[in-house]
Structure 1
Amino acid sequence: MVYDSRELSLKDLLHPAIAAEDALARLDDRVGRKNDLGEVRGRRTRDGLLRENDGWIERSHFVEACNALWLAGELVHVEDLVLHDARMDIRTPTHELTRAHAILRTRRQIAASPPAWSFSSKGLASLRGRATSEFAVLTGENIPAAESVAEDETEVKSDAENAFEDELANMDALLVRSSRLLAQPAEVGGGRGESKSSAADLTPDGEPLVYDPDWDEDERFEGWLAVHDRSRDLPPLLAAAVVWDAWEDIEPLQHQHWLGPMLVSAMLRERGKTRSHLAALNAGLRSIPRDRRRARDHTTRLVAFLEAVQVSSMANLKEVERLSLARMQMERKLKDRRSTSNLPGMIDLILSRPMVSTALIAKELKVSQRGALNLISELGVREMTGRGRYRAWGIV
């Protein structure tokens, strides 16, 4: 599928692009701001240096996952996603909730990886759940032999990295075995004369009941990557608008349409526009009417995206300031506390989650539920549920 890459109307895009660039730059500067001593404000924990705005970054992952499904017409509450992520569901997880959790894990994976990883053959294969060799042709990368890679990397990798690579290899092997099992010839079952789908009935993407046989994901994805390559000469934000619009128009993936805004955010980070965070685009796109996001006019769609970036950046900037003020107020209660107090960890936890429960606090901080209630009362945070069971607290 070919995307119409006609000339952009710079007269109509100039003002929205400048406003969006300014708002996004201010947000990125605020997230990565240093204090007067030239050091990132934070405290030393067992996991390393915790920055002041890490709480907002973690919160944005939860909110973006829910907003991604909202744009797809499905509703997932942030509170349910927080509990599901901690494996503390109060009810059976729905299909929408499991999809939201998959989006959350994908966004965390992109944010934790190097900036150039998302558009590498390995990154695209991991995000789509395909073999790495399938994307080597699309991205033009040369995949070295497994033996030479192993000889070079085993000396520099740590034990944790090697264990993680082993887990990924086991998962790949499981996927290969599952694919071979699904591709086996038809077998007559149970005397009913019914047969299973044979390998000839499968589409290149999988089962025809799930994937449209006429929908060639590889060809569409290759066309979208071509648009991404042609946009390198544009300014970062204008390029992001073009790449996002191409994703909406081409629709490369049938069941992972939510991956497009994440790849656009990864592109902004790769080009150095956002160095301190992964841009939260779904929050802004949610505020733009659908008739503008899906308009027939090319320029209208691009302007809608730029306005979404501006709205999202300004709202997130206010949220960062609000959480920073809340941290300052709660840290006043750390005065004269012993060094082994769990109160600093409680502050970090409540800033990194839209809501917390006693069970979640007990699990994360390794305290009893009675101790979790004591920590909550010492901080004086507000209860969000207003009921006796399944109580939750947060910064409102």
Structure 2
Amino acid sequence: MPYDVTALPLTELVGPAMRATAALVRLDERIARSPVGEGFVARCHFADAVAALWLDGELVHLEDLVLHDAHMDLRAPTHELTRAHEVLRLRRQVLANKPDWALGREGFATLCGRGTVPATQPPLPDVQAPVSGEGSARVDDADGDPDGDSLGAASPGSTSPGSTSLSAELAALDAALSRANASLDRAREPVASESLAGEMGRNDRPAAASAALAGKSSGERSPWLYDSDWDEPARLGEWQGGLQQNASLPPLLRAAVAFDAWTVATPLQHAPWLGRLLVSALLRQTGTTTVHLAALYLGARAVGRERRQSRDRTTRLLAFVDAVHESAVAGIKEHDRLILAKAQMERRLKGRRSTSKLPQLIELVLSRPLVSSGMIEKQLGVTTAGALNLIGELDLREVTGRGRYRAWGVM
């Protein structure tokens, strides 16, 4: 059922929307001209990713996400931490591309997980694989020779004394393309059976694997993981059509209606949180924000659940608008705090040598919610003792309260 965009209560929405838009634009202008703009944007990504999991009822510690992003986990990452890092990665990806990328054809397919082949692995032309002899055996054993060291032995003609150099090279190229196609075909196969086997008991693994792979040949999704009646392409197309209908609305009201339509339709079964990220991209596409993505997850934490999930559409729309305003106000306060912290730390640079690592440490501290001694060692190329000395000179605040595996941040 299409989302009804008619009869919007504009008299109730215009005032709060103008207030939220003004705060969001003011924050964006400050970031664009700020000496700590890049650090603020990086911190905003982390805070918004943690807030996204908080809205789903999952607790992810900010320090764990920072360490996981730096590949310095203290323990095996949990499922919640992996999801938070996915939000972090997608926010960075959206901001790194052009403003119209996320809601365009390629970007929308990538964010919704419907891309066919990653950009780092372009599709290769179809080449007929050898059906007999030594070449076919090597196609079956493609994983055993990932570096292609035995390309010359893939074709019997390549080792013949009478064959020319060109024919040998072409035969080797054909064999390499065949092995690459075989590897890509195996990589594209569903891997849901492995996940199901890990969740179920060891005695149930054969049954889970057969159930998950039942639709492998036809390309269908496993009924163990997806609802067969849930038509994701149709719902996504319907949501995109609603965006076109709302093109005449002011940017923030258009974003509010788009998010409410996403909440009502729930196009993706396993990624309902993606709606706020797409709406943030919409605000960037319309020019409301230019140098950062609005932290809509973070702002929604300040709005009560009763308002966010109310049955009344007007209440939900006002809750979204208020969340945007709260995120902008919190962002302005955080930006001012970083400006003050930067000025205080730069006072300690007076009289330092030009080869001092303190300026680099200041930039690192401002670009992360917290830093560990290992991160400082890796980024600045110093020893553990040197990292601790630099931390002491800047008088950073210890934020974990632990004796071991400590982390520090600005005051």
TM-score normalised to structure 1 length? 0.80
Taking the aligned partners of 1:183 and 1:395, their CA distance within structure 2 comes to 43
8 Å CA contact retained: 1:82, 1:353:
yes
- 1:333-352 matched pairs, under 5 angstroms: 333-352=348-367
> CA 1:336–1:67 in 2, change beyond 3 Å: closer, same or farther?
same
What secondary structure is seen at the aligned counterpart in 2 of 1:360?
Answer: helix
1:291, distance to aligned residue in structure 2 (A): 1.4
> CA 1:174–1:317 in 2, change beyond 3 Å: closer, same or farther?
farther
> CA 1:378–1:200 in 2, change beyond 3 Å: closer, same or farther?
closer
1:131-155 CA-partner distances (Å, limit 9, x unpaired): 369xxxxxxxxxxx999xxxxxxxx
Question: What does residue 68 of structure 2 align with?
Answer: 84
Question: What does residue 196 of structure 1 align with?
Answer: 210
What secondary structure is seen at the aligned counterpart in 2 of 1:89?
Answer: coil
Question: What does residue 112 of structure 2 align with?
Answer: 128
8 Å CA contact retained: 1:65, 1:103:
yes
1:230-258 CA-partner distances (Å, limit 9, x unpaired): 11111111101011111111111111111
1:129, distance to aligned residue in structure 2 (A): 2.4
Taking the aligned partners of 1:338 and 1:172, their CA distance within structure 2 comes to 57
8 Å CA contact retained: 2:46, 2:66:
yes
1:201, distance to aligned residue in structure 2 (A): 7.8
Q: Match for 2:33: what amino acid?
A: R
Count how many residue pairs are aligned between Structure 1 and Structure 2. 340
1:4, distance to aligned residue in structure 2 (A): 2.1
Identity percentage of aligned residues: 52
What secondary structure is seen at the aligned counterpart in 2 of 1:196?
Answer: helix
1:173, distance to aligned residue in structure 2 (A): 9.3
1:74-113 CA-partner distances (Å, limit 9, x unpaired): 1101111011111111111111011111111111111111
Corresponding residue to 1:104 among 74, 82, 88: 88
Question: What does residue 221 of structure 1 align with?
Answer: 236
Question: What does residue 278 of structure 1 align with?
Answer: 293
8 Å CA contact retained: 1:121, 1:132:
no
8 Å CA contact retained: 1:122, 1:132:
no
8 Å CA contact retained: 2:348, 2:394:
yes
> CA 1:172–1:390 in 2, change beyond 3 Å: closer, same or farther?
farther
What secondary structure is seen at the aligned counterpart in 2 of 1:268?
Answer: helix
8 Å CA contact retained: 1:383, 1:392:
yes
1:2, distance to aligned residue in structure 2 (A): 2.0
1:287, distance to aligned residue in structure 2 (A): 1.3
Question: What does residue 226 of structure 2 align with?
Answer: 211
Taking the aligned partners of 1:361 and 1:338, their CA distance within structure 2 comes to 19
Taking the aligned partners of 1:121 and 1:254, their CA distance within structure 2 comes to 20
Q: Match for 1:25: what amino acid?
A: V
Structure 1 unmatched ranges of 5 or more: 35-40, 42-51, 134-144, 148-170, 185-189
Question: What does residue 24 of structure 1 align with?
Answer: 24
Question: What does residue 388 of structure 2 align with?
Answer: 373
Question: What does residue 264 of structure 1 align with?
Answer: 279
Taking the aligned partners of 1:110 and 1:381, their CA distance within structure 2 comes to 32
Structure 2 unmatched ranges of 5 or more: 118-122, 126-179, 194-202
Corresponding residue to 1:251 among 262, 266, 270: 266
8 Å CA contact retained: 2:283, 2:289:
yes
8 Å CA contact retained: 2:215, 2:222:
no
8 Å CA contact retained: 2:214, 2:222:
no
> CA 1:193–1:226 in 2, change beyond 3 Å: closer, same or farther?
closer
What secondary structure is seen at the aligned counterpart in 2 of 1:393?
Answer: strand
1:258-290 CA-partner distances (Å, limit 9, x unpaired): 111111111111111101211111111111111
Question: What does residue 7 of structure 2 align with?
Answer: 7
Q: Name the larger-Rg structure.
A: 2
1:321, distance to aligned residue in structure 2 (A): 0.3
Taking the aligned partners of 2:217 and 2:299, their CA distance within structure 1 comes to 39
Give me the CA root mean square deviation.
Answer: 2.7
Taking the aligned partners of 2:272 and 2:363, their CA distance within structure 1 comes to 33
8 Å CA contact retained: 1:284, 1:309:
yes
8 Å CA contact retained: 1:20, 1:310:
yes
1:33, distance to aligned residue in structure 2 (A): 2.2
What secondary structure is seen at the aligned counterpart in 2 of 1:347?
Answer: helix
Taking the aligned partners of 2:322 and 2:181, their CA distance within structure 1 comes to 41
Taking the aligned partners of 1:249 and 1:172, their CA distance within structure 2 comes to 41
> CA 1:345–1:268 in 2, change beyond 3 Å: closer, same or farther?
same
